[in-house]
Amino acid sequence: MIKHLLLGLGLVLASLTQASSVSDALRAAATDNEQEEEFLRVDEAFQGSVARIDDKLLIRYQIAPKYYLYRDQFRLEIVDGAVGKPQFPEGILKHDEFLGEQIVYFNFVEFSVPIERAQMPFTLNITFQGCAEAGLCYPPTTREFVVDSGAPVGNAATASDIENSDVKNAGVKSSETELAERLGGDDLLWQMLLFFGLGIGLTFTPCVLPMVPIVASIIGASGQKLSTGRAFTLSFVYVQAVAIVYAALGLAVSSAGAALTGYLQSPWVIIPAIVVFVALAFSMFGAYELQLPSSLQEKLMGASNQQQGGSLLGAAVMGALSALIVSPCVSAPLTGALVYIAQSGDLLKGALTLYALGLGMGMPLMLVGMGGAKLLPKAGAWMEQVKYAFGFMLIGVAVVLVNRLIPAEFGLLSWGLFVLAVAAWLGQLSIQSAWQFWIQGLRIALLVYGVVLIIGASAGQTNPLKPLPNFAASASAGGATKTVDAHAGFKLIKTVADLEREIADANAEGKTVMLDFFADWCVACFEFADYTFPDSAVQQALANTVLLQADVTANDAADRELMARYDILGLPSILFFNEQGEELRAARVTGFMKAEPFARHINDLHNR
């Protein structure tokens, strides 16, 4: 009984850890098919939040669809303090013919950074830079976050921003936010059904699926033949204990606040979990036998003997422990419920929805419980290998958790060593059956993959699913980025005074003015310089126009003043001024435009 209890507890642990001003912002930008593209303000496209977790900061950015952030453009600074090196997750390799290979993030990014020196409360300045896929890049933007607790603080658009806008907010939300907003509705029954369904779905994920053998161990704990009703009762008690503790967790969060979910990522939670998994794994490998003190064993065995075919008390304790050991990898449904509870303070609704989530997760387990005793195989020598398999599963969970605490390239190395260890174990298996061929084939595949992972780690790669460098992309790019003289044909200006002087001089000659805002981090600016501006039709259309260019790469005070003067959303932005020195705001071009529509756009201006 105790051995089954400990093994089941280990698997539960494994499952849990796996477990208008704004109206001006939407400039019309012609795309390849000349349809209009509406662009978001920078704080609508990239919504950030910061939470303190012990001696680290957890930074999250929700990124609007079809927008992305550059990893290497993040800069973090604590006023009168210091931060360490950020631990970024694996991003997407984006190759650009002008900027070369860049790591970018779509949809969502979360990373941590250690606090080296700070005095509470403190101000954190985050600088970031991103683009829209439609051809607009935002200038490096700095936002200020005041951190005085573990509760998240964010920089989403304020109510006044939306009030003064003709434009609806894009409503970009993470899965946790969407679930939290669903909880905010009035239909409690619908909310409970929603989370019940989500719980069923979670059962078939790596975070929960290992619970199935736990239920089987509970059902067969006494070795007696059980009726279907008795087996169902034991599994039902286990699931009820899980669901009830989840509901209690919801009540606890309401008083602790939203910061509690952030602490689940703390090393104080992750490191003890790693130690437990490694200890349980070595027990599975036969290094030692994990046993409770004899006095406690006698009490538990006594309680077990009072139950027919299995201990209801044992099932309840197992279920409660499974839920109490909170997972460091909290799933989106659970996080969404906790976020809502912390924000709304509605204890009853939060508790009931979490209870429904627990029941949903347990429904497939109860079905297993009804036939669990019948499904249990007979003991034999083969079960020693099953123990080894469970041991490697536990080591795998420990590797997952270790990867949250170490640099990504070392994480790839740890996966390589783990895969090689599994391959070595498969090599010593002696199975005289048709499965032998497939097992040896799997061993060879794992051996090759483990070597590839180690090679990738030595090359600085971080993604286990893509461990080798992108040789094909490098070859297709010719090993170098494309060079373009982006200033050719333009007269550079720096300040508002420079622009006003040049406009006056052009008007005195009876000419119009085109002002191009450029920066070397703007991909579409180079596309304009390479594909659009040199075109003969464009050159002809601009024959009576003075071409000015403001290079705002430095993003210094003069650059920011000039961009603020004309309310520049992002780059490229091209402004047109008539013979009277007035800007034709309706004629602005924001985002990339091909040569043909750009020439037609200019000719239309002249014909008005």
Predicted confidence (pLDDT) per residue in 224-265, tens digit: 556 667 777 777 887 788 778 777 766 665 555 444 545 555
215 pLDDT higher than 70: no
Alpha carbon distance 11, 393 (integer Å)? 9
Which of the residue ranges 26-30, 103-107, 129-133, 475-479 would you say has the lowest mean pLDDT? 26-30
The pLDDT value recorded for residue 539 is 94
**3-state SS track over 291-350:** CCCHHHHHHHHHHHHCCCCCCHHHHHHHHHHHHHCCCCCCCHHHHHHHHHHHHHCCHHHH
pTM of the model: 0.47
Alpha carbon distance 89, 72 (integer Å)? 12
601 pLDDT higher than 50: yes
Residues 6+ apart with CB under 8 A from 530: 98, 482, 484
The pLDDT value recorded for residue 333 is 45
Mean pLDDT of the chain: 73
Domain(s) labelled CATH 3.40.30.10 in the chain stretch across 491-606
Higher pLDDT, 261 or 604: 604
Domain(s) labelled CATH 2.60.40.1250 in the chain stretch across 41-152
10 pLDDT higher than 60: no
Nearest to 129 by CA among 575, 590, 555, 517: 555
Q: Is the dihedral of CA 531, 533, 537, 538 positive or negative?
A: positive
Q: What is the pLDDT of residues 143-167, one digit of tens each?
A: 999 988 654 555 543 333 333 333 3
DSSP string, 181-219: HHHTSS-HHHHHHHHHHHHHHHHTSTTTTTHHHHHHHHH
Q: Which CATH class is domain 41-152?
A: mainly beta
538 pLDDT higher than 50: yes
Q: What is the pLDDT of residues 39-58, one digit of tens each?
A: 899 999 999 999 888 788 98
111 pLDDT higher than 60: yes
Across the range 539-551, mean pLDDT stands at 94
Q: Which CATH architecture has domain 491-606?
A: 3-Layer(aba) Sandwich (3.40)
The pLDDT value recorded for residue 524 is 85
How many helices (H) and strands (E) would you count in the chain?
22, 20
The pLDDT value recorded for residue 220 is 54
Q: What is the pLDDT of residues 197-209, one digit of tens each?
A: 777 766 665 455 5
Q: What is the pLDDT of residues 439-470, one digit of tens each?
A: 888 889 999 999 998 988 888 777 777 787 75
Q: What is the pLDDT of residues 412-423, one digit of tens each?
A: 889 899 999 998
Nearest to 602 by CA among 568, 569, 584, 33: 584
Angle at alpha carbon of residue 198, lines to 196 and 200, rounded to 5°: 75
481 pLDDT higher than 80: no
20 pLDDT higher than 60: no
277 pLDDT higher than 60: yes
Which of the residue ranges 303-307, 524-528, 591-595 would you say has the lowest mean pLDDT? 303-307
Two tokens at 432? 């005289």
Residues 6+ apart with CB under 8 A from 557: none
Residue 495 DSSP label: S
Which of the residue ranges 168-177, 202-211, 258-267, 509-518 would you say has the lowest mean pLDDT? 168-177
